[in-house]
Chain A
Amino acid sequence: MSGVTTSWLPLAPILVPLGMGILMLAPMGRRARAGLALAAALLTLLCSALLLSAVWNGAVLVSELGAWPAPFGIVMTADRLGAFMSVLASVSALLATWAALVNPDPARERHHLFTLMAVLFAGVQMSFLTGDLFNLFVAFEVMLVASYALAVLGSTREQLREGFRYIVMNLAASALLVLACGLTYGALGTLNFAHLAQRSAELGPNATVNAISVLLLLVFAAKGALFPLGFWLPGTYPALPAATGTFFAAILTKVGAYALIRVFTTVFTEDPALPQTLLLILGSVTMLYGALGMLSQREWRSVLSFAVVSSAGYVAFGLGLGTPLALRATLSYLAVSVAVTAALFLIAAVAERAAGTRNVRARGFLDERPWLAGAFLLCALTTAGLPPTAGFIAKFALVQAGVQSGTPLAWVAVTCALLASLVTLLALLNVWRGFFWGEATGTRPAPAPRGTRLPAYAASALVAALAVGGGSLLSFTGAAASDLRGDGYVRGVLGTGPVVIPDAPAGEQSDAGQSDAEQPAGGQP
């Protein structure tokens, strides 16, 4: 097929953590295993960065599994959006691995913590790089199976209770997803994203396709923790150990967000009104719900888990607006949100350890940990979206896109976004006042070694770097968003010529004839 650029790169960020994860199953000492885990994270980041540089100019790279070309075999596809998400995931994976390395946890490590994390990373990378709807389901399962194990690894009472809820919710969503895949295949006869896009474009606005897309929206909304479906999140994330929780919070809901972006900008674009309205409504409610939830919590990571919910709302809001400007703002917001969530969860881990309690009202840490206070303030301002942080740039772009869109619903959503930002600021200042302000009370546990704080500072530095590089972030996401609107993705995967479905080989003709003959018979009452 002409015009398809095959490359080994889109598979590399998936295979590296998977292979290293299997290697880490071999019996070895903690030092060797930790070294492998770090090497895997660094190598994955390297592969993702190479991938991003390869698609920087708008190329679409394809890796064919088993050398079967696009609509027939499963392909891994990297356009600017996919490579961008892959880099975000690799960065979070590196931070989470680092945090796991500096906080030894012998019991969990004996039960293959590092392997499970590596498989989780592989599943997330595959979700971002796959070019096939059913393979997306498989990637979700790889990721979720690892996350189920990580959610209950250690078997504390809280983990088992929350893990059960997490597993039930995600199993239900996965069942719905595989159902939606089946319906999609039944309606359009393909599962490849590019081929789906082509066929749904040929079909034009269609009620069946609409129904399927709304079903997919519900599934991804559950994975992305939008309002009524995200109830499991604020309980599950605080129950996790710090390093794992950081990766969960930073990336797992973003996988749902990415799937929404991919499906509603690349695949089902013919009749966007209904999904966009739904996304705007869900997004508005989620933003406010998350912000108010933050205000109601008194423990570090419970507050931050609601911040994750709120950020899912902003992504849905941007996606619901649907204009190129809004899409650019959404992608920028995704990057900022991933970095700041990772940073905040790492800061929370340091803070919990320093205070010896999960409660935020430990008081007086401004003197003891001035750098931590600075990092927290930066991240709090970024989350709330105040200048001069990257959060301001992203939220300003979102609100600007909402105002430009100008429909009544968009105005409601903009109001919700601003209100939610204000409440978020209030909630995070409460944390600031409770933890850093005032006179120290009670006894502190022995201070943890300095190395345990480095991941949090590195993540905060990344947040600061995003603010400095805000302009180039916006120009890159603008380019990625404009990719999504053209047919570059479809041409990059399927080639420039039309897709030719070959006739069935002679041996199978009789089977096809039989099933054709059975269909009318089945339809008769």
Chain B
Amino acid sequence: MSGGRKGRAGKRPAARPGPAARPNALTDVGDPVLRVVSRAAFALVMLLTALLLWRGHNAPGGGFIAGLMTACALILHRVANGRCALNFPPLTVVPWGLALSFTTGLVPYLLGRAYLKSDYGYVSTPLTGEFEWATALLFDVGVYLIVAGSALHIAYELIDVNPRERVEDDR
């Protein structure tokens, strides 16, 4: 649902003709409705993302889908406000995600158990009742970082595409 809203919202500023149509129309979007709606939508989508990371669509954790939704939310934010919500290039989280996922699998392997074997246990807190934790969540967080980082990077690269790029032997 949020994906569809993002798609419609994304087209509007680009399709609108007029004096504002400059080469990089995305940097000065002045649509107040979009900006106000996107602020609420952004928060909601991010909440849903956290939920999906916790419980994937066919249960346990959905790092992949959560990463994609995060990327969608951040693209919506950029379309509405004309700037990225992150103050670092998204690609930098990809190696960290890879390392996190890999290490999650590696630790039991180095301890002499099966690779990717998940450890789990139960804690009880007064607020949540009995609560199951599993190290597999760390793996999903890694996947989340990889997917969110690379999807955002691809989208941003497509925004900034320059068709007159040269290759090595084009001189």
Contact = CB atoms under 8 A, between A and B. Distances in A.
B102 A19 contact: yes
B109 interface: yes
Contacts of B115: 11, 15, 63, 65-66
B116 A66 contact: yes
A155 B106 contact: no
Nearest to A158: B169
B117 interface: yes
A273 interface: no
Contacts of B168: 154-157
A8 B109 contact: yes
Given A66-B116, A156-B169, A157-B167, A22 B109 contact: no
Nearest to A24: B95
Interface string B112-148: 1111111000000000000000000000000000000
Contacts of A156: 167-169
B160 interface: no
A25 B99 CA distance: 10
Interface string A280-321: 000000000000000000000000000000000000000000
B114 A19 contact: no
B95 A66 contact: no
Contacts of A26: 95
Contact of B117 (A23, A66, A160): A66
Contacts, number: 44
From DSSP, what is the main secondary structure of chain B's interface residues?
Answer: loop
Nearest to B170: A157
A298 to B, nearest CB: 21
A64 interface: yes
A64 B117 CA distance: 9
B113 A22 contact: no
Interface string B90-114: 0000010011001000100100111
Nearest to B100: A22
Interface string A58-69: 000001111100
Contacts of B167: 155-157, 160
A67 B117 contact: yes
Interface in B55-111: 95, 98-99, 102, 106, 109
Most A CB contacts (10 A, CB to CB) among B102, B106, B118, B170 go to: B102
A67 B99 contact: no
Could you say which interface size class chain B belongs to?
A: 10 to 19
A22 B98 contact: yes
A18 interface: yes
B109 A15 contact: yes
A22 B114 contact: no
Nearest to A160: B167
Interface string A22-33: 110110000000
A157 B114 contact: no
A8 B102 CA distance: 16
Contacts of A15: 106, 109, 115
Contact of A67 (B102, B114, B169, B170): B114
A25 B95 contact: yes
A154 B118 CA distance: 40
A18 B109 CA distance: 14
A64 B112 CA distance: 12
B114 A64 contact: yes
Contacts of A11: 109, 115
A205 B126 CA distance: 62
A347 to B, nearest CB: 25
A150 B168 CA distance: 16
Contacts of A6: 114
Contact of A66 (B102, B118, B169): B118
Contacts of A155: 167-168
Interface of B: 95, 98-99, 102, 106, 109, 112-118, 167-170
Interface of A: 6, 8, 11, 15, 18-19, 22-23, 25-26, 63-67, 154-157, 160
14 contacts: A15-B109, A15-B115, A19-B106, A22-B95, A25-B98, A66-B114, A66-B116, A66-B118, A67-B113, A67-B114, A155-B168, A156-B168, A156-B169, A157-B170
Give 9 closest A-B pairs by Cβ, nearest first.
A67-B114, A25-B95, A66-B116, A155-B167, A67-B117, A156-B168, A64-B114, A22-B98, A65-B116
